[in-house]
Structure 1
Amino acid sequence: MSHLIASALTTARRILTASEPLLNCQRNASKKAGGSTRNSAGVVRPKHRGVKHKSGTYVQEGALVVLQNKLRFHPGLNVRIGHNGTLAALIPGRVLVTTEKVEPNMEHPWAQKTYGGRDIDRIYKKYFHVLPEPQHYRFKRIG
């Protein structure tokens, strides 16, 4: 046993007293390689849907009032509905939100799918209207 220790010491002295640099050094990784995480799959970018302008706010022409997929909110006065259900202002003015009774045409397949099996007498939905600002009447007639 002492013979093994003596040979290890002589080998160590030879390495330490060598005039040439050590070229066979190897550095090991200090951390494990990063693997995939389990909870990253299925993360989607948020779509930011919903009401963009509340009742009483001023909007410009073409401003989006509501972003929606299904017809949750209905277009009212001076509001158009886009092909994907978005509601946009047709004129500049103030937004007014009302709750009104809906009388759907039950012969339409969309109405059957949405309101089928419900009591039609008690269906209320929110309507978004854009009311124009009142103009001043300080015009001077010429001629």
Structure 2
Amino acid sequence: MSQLLSNYISSYLNVFNKVINYTIRGASKKTSSSTSYGGKRRPKHRGIRVQHGKYVTPGTILAVQRRIQFHPGLHVGFGRNGNLFAIEAGKVMITCEKADLNWDHTWVQRNYNGRFNQTIYKKYLHVIPEPQHQRFKLIDMV
């Protein structure tokens, strides 16, 4: 009887060990360093950097953009990457003006297809320089 019981227990343990070896599962959630949902990305901070009526110095970036959303006006430069920057010191003025498009250009025809007789408005950034001082007097003309 005891021999039969010990055989039964040993066979039970062998089966139990095999079941334990096969039923171990891993973690159901990933660790904290996982990036399954992409993680947080840094924003690009594009758009107008200097508001209407603010004073700027030459070289100040006025707007950062990927596609042309804001257009350069008076005393404003257009960088290779699309940034607008001040060429002279003065106050910033943002206006919405009618665009004078070259309708013979293929890019204009492709992007403004069907809007030939409509007035198209664009946002322009201008830098209005301060008037120069009037301290000099004309003494003699050459």
TM-score (norm 2): 0.67
**Aligned residue number for residue 107 of structure 2:** 110
The alpha-carbon distance between structure 1 residues 83 and 141, as it changes in their structure 2 partners (threshold 3 A), is same
Q: Which runs of 5+ in 2 are unaligned?
A: 1-28
Q: Who is 2:119 aligned against?
A: 122
Are residue 73 (structure 1) and residue 70 (structure 2) matched?
A: yes
2:98 aligns to what?
101
Percent identical pairs in the alignment equals 49
Instruction: Tell me the CA shift for residue 107 of structure 1.
Output: 2.3
For 2:104 and 2:138, the matched residues in 1 are separated by: 54
Where structure 1 has 5 or more consecutive residues not aligned to the other structure, the ranges are 1-31
1:64 correspondence with 2:61:
yes
Shift of 1:105: 1.0
Q: Which amino acid aligns with 1:84?
A: N
**Distance across 1 between alignment mates of 2:67 and 2:86:** 18
- Aligned-pair CA distance for 1:104: 1.1
Cα root mean square deviation, aligned: 2.4
Alignment deviations for residues 55-109 of structure 1 (CA, whole Å, 9 cap, x no partner): 1101110111011111111110111111121111111111111111012112223
- Residue of structure 1 in register with 2:84 after alignment: 87
Aligned equivalents of 1:68 and 1:119: distance in 2?
A: 26
What is residue 20 of structure 2 aligned with on the other side? none
CA distance in 2, matches of 1:105, 1:53: 29
Match of 1:20 in 2: none
Classify 1:33/1:98 alpha carbon distance in 2 versus 1 (closer, same or farther; 3 Å): closer
1:111 counterpart SS class: helix
Find out whether 1:44 has 2:55 as its counterpart: no
The 1-side partners of 2:39 and 2:68 are apart by: 26
* TM-score (normalizing by structure 1): 0.67
Say how many residue pairs are matched: 111
